[in-house]
């Protein structure tokens, strides 16, 4: 929509949202609250005139009082209206239009609750639930926006990540829209069907149990979750898996260069140095020399490879300009133009699922491990310099995060080897299943670790068991 169309749409929608019955009741209440007190005042004055006449005054005097009462009331009303019009509007509308201070307390005391007693609000909408209000509001939006030529398209993503109750509520809501008066609407739902079906069955566990009990043993029936999906998905489409060439192209887009400045300024800005005017020359000169050394080291490291940068970082003095340059160079060399990184990523992609989200998670973990490794070596701490080893650690953290703690378990109290080292290099004739059970692993964990896919991954070099103790 253009800006004008959006403004007109919101204005028309808010007009539709007005509750005509509530507005009518409010007007009636205002009439009773504002007019009746003045009418009571008129009645009081007229009764006073009659009382004066009965008390012995001449009929002429009583008639004058009775006749003058409307004039006085009209004058009061005129003066009050002029006062209202002459004052700036502030506060609530009720405060601006309130009756005279002397009349209002008496009128309110006499008429308190009279309108609610005489005209009760059945409160249907309050008892209809929030979904009724949402449905009515969405109906108004559809009426104003959607047409057969330009239907309203609603995208629902990540439904399989919701709680079972939420999944069922969304499906039921979509069913109502499709089966109701929302003809000019299209719903595009992205989901993992098996996961959503399981959520539905969890939410309707009691219903499923009763159906199975009523149908008897051996009765063939379709799973309830899939029945729900078939009813509300009218055009199922399955996305194809990413092929190898597409995975490689996607990975290449995730290894763009990190925006690191090419040069470090050799002259700090004015006023950056500490101390008095006589001592500013020394720190400025030191900073300039450090910046020059850092830039020179970066240029030297940039001529090599990422692995050589990581290795040379171990020779840097902690806190030195060379160490800072190594971190800068490593960030700049994290691209597929680097042959070592390209080899490591090619190795890792073979073990990743063809899922863009998992691939991106791997790239993030791998980049993180490379930078942490470089920083550890600059700090004089132990860290590997093999990029393929880091890629294998990143795959393990990305593809099998649930088994990391199990892999670090010692095989026994008397043996230092971990489950990880056992699976990487098992002894001849060793019962792996028994060894995992003796290490305290559950049956489910043991099955995951001994699956063919995981054994194929962990058994392929490089061997990372000893190094993994510092990283998992």
What is the rounded distance in angstroms from the CA atom of residue 13 to the CA atom of residue 361?
Answer: 43
CB 365 within 8 A of CB 345: no
Give first-to-last CA distance, the chain, whole Å: 51
Of residues 413 and 60, more confidently modeled:
413
What is the rounded distance in angstroms from the CA atom of residue 269 to the CA atom of residue 271?
Answer: 6
Strand partners, 410: 418
What is the rounded distance in angstroms from the CA atom of residue 400 to the CA atom of residue 346?
Answer: 19
Cα→Cα distances 278→271, 274, 367, Å: 13, 11, 45
What pTM was estimated for this model as a whole? 0.60
pLDDT for position 367: 93
pLDDT for position 364: 93
Segment 151-178 mean pLDDT: 84
- Residue 442's nearest CA partner among 403, 393, 410, 468 is 403
pLDDT for position 127: 53
CB 157 within 8 A of CB 218: no
Go through the chain and tell me how many residues it has.
472
Q: Which residues, 6+ apart, have CB-to-CB distance to 243 below 8 Å?
A: 354
Domain range annotation of the chain: 3-118, 129-232, 241-399, 401-472
Q: Which two tokens stand for residue 264?
A: 């470090």
Segment 323-347 mean pLDDT: 90
Q: Which two tokens stand for residue 345?
A: 């990523």
- Residue 164's nearest CA partner among 110, 119, 204, 133 is 204
Has residue 80 got a pLDDT over 70?
no
What is the rounded distance in angstroms from the CA atom of residue 336 to the CA atom of residue 248?
Answer: 10
Q: Which residues, 6+ apart, have CB-to-CB distance to 75 below 8 Å?
A: none
pLDDT for position 359: 92
pLDDT for position 120: 47
At 91, is the pLDDT very low, low, confident or very high (cuts 50, 70, 90)? very low
How far is residue 297 CA from its own chain's centroid? 43
CB atoms within 10 A of CB 40: 15
Helix (H) or strand (E) holding 159: none
pLDDT for position 409: 85
pLDDT for position 393: 92
Model confidence over 413-448: pLDDT tens digits? 777 788 888 888 887 767 888 888 888 888 888 888
Q: Which residues, 6+ apart, have CB-to-CB distance to 234 below 8 Å?
A: 178
- Please state whether 441 falls in left (phi above 0), alpha (psi between -120 and 50) or beta: beta
- Residue 152's nearest CA partner among 137, 138, 172 is 138
Q: Percentage of the chain surpassing pLDDT 70? A: 70
Report H helices in 146-275.
164-179, 193-203, 205-215, 224-232, 244-254
Segment 364-383 mean pLDDT: 92
User: Dihedral angle at the C-alpha atoms of 292, 294, 300, 306, nearest 10 degrees?
Assistant: -160
- Residue 223's nearest CA partner among 207, 237, 239, 236 is 207
Cα→Cα distances 184→2, 16, 52, 142, 230, Å: 21, 19, 74, 8, 21
Report H helices in 18-152.
20-54, 59-86, 93-96, 104-111, 114-118, 124-128, 130-145
Segment 151-173 mean pLDDT: 86
Least confident residue range of 167-181, 334-348, 374-388: 167-181
Of residues 71 and 95, more confidently modeled:
71
- Give the CA diameter of the chain: 132
- Chain position carrying tokens 């959503």: 196
**How is residue 55 annotated by DSSP?**
T
Model confidence over 267-318: pLDDT tens digits? 455 444 444 444 444 556 677 788 888 888 888 888 889 999 999 998 888 8
Orientation angle between helical segments 387-399 and 339-349, nearest 10 degrees:
30
Of residues 154 and 58, more confidently modeled:
154
Segment 398-414 mean pLDDT: 84
């Amino acid at each position: 929509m253009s800006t004008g169309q959006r403004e007109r749409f919101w204005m028309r929608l808010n007009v539709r949202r007005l509750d005509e019955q509530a507005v009518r009741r409010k007007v009636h209440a205002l009439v009773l609250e504002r007019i009746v007190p003045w009418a009571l005042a008129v009645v009081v004055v007229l009764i006073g005139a009659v009382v004066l006449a009965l008390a012995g005054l001449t009929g002429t005097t009583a008639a004058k009082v009775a006749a003058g009462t409307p004039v006085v009331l009209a004058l009061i009303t005129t003066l009050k209206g002029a006062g209202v019009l002459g004052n700036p509007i502030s506060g609530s509308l009720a405060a601006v239009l309130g009756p005279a201070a002397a009349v209002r307390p008496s009128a309110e005391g006499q008429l308190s609750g009279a309108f609610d007693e005489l005209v009760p609000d059945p409160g249907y909408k309050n008892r209809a639930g929030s979904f009724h209000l949402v449905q009515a509001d969405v109906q108004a939006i559809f009426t104003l926006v959607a047409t057969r030529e330009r239907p309203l398209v609603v995208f629902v993503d990540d439904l399989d990540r919701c709680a079972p109750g939420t999944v069922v509520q969304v499906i039921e809501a979509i069913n109502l829209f499709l089966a109701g008066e929302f003809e000019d609407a299209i719903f595009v739902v992205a989901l993992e069907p098996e996961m959503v079906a399981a959520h539905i069955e969890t939410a309707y566990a009691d219903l499923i149990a009763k159906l199975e009990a009523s149908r008897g043993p051996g009765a063939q029936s379709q799973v309830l979750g899939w029945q729900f999906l078939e009813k509300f998905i009218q055009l199922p489409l399955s996305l194809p898996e990413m092929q190898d060439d597409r995975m490689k192209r996607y990975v290449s887009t995730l290894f763009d260069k990190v925006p690191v400045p090419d040069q470090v300024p050799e002259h700090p800005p004015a006023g950056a140095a500490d101390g008095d005017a006589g001592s500013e020359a020394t720190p400025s000169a030191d900073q300039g020399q450090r910046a020059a050394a850092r830039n020179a080291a970066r240029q030297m490291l940039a001529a090599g490879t990422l692995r050589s940068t990581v290795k040379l970082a171990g020779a840097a003095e902690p806190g030195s300009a060379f160490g800072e340059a190594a971190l800068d160079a490593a960030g700049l060399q994290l691209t597929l133009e680097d042959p070592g990184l390209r080899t490591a990523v090619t190795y890792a992609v073979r073990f990743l699922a063809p899922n863009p989200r998992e691939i991106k998670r791997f790239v993030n973990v791998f980049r993180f491990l490379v930078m942490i490794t470089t920083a550890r070596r600059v700090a004089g701490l132990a860290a590997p310099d093999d990029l393929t080893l880091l890629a294998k650690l990143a795959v393990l953290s990305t593809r099998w995060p649930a088994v990391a703690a199990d892999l670090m378990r010692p095989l026994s109290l008397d043996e230092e080897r971990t489950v990880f080292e056992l699976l990487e290099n098992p002894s001849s004739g060793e019962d792996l299943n028994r060894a995992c059970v003796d290490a305290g692993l559950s049956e489910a964990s043991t099955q995951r670790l001994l699956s063919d896919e995981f054994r194929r991954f962990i058994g392929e070099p490089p061997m990372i068991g000893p190094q993994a103790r510092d990283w998992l």
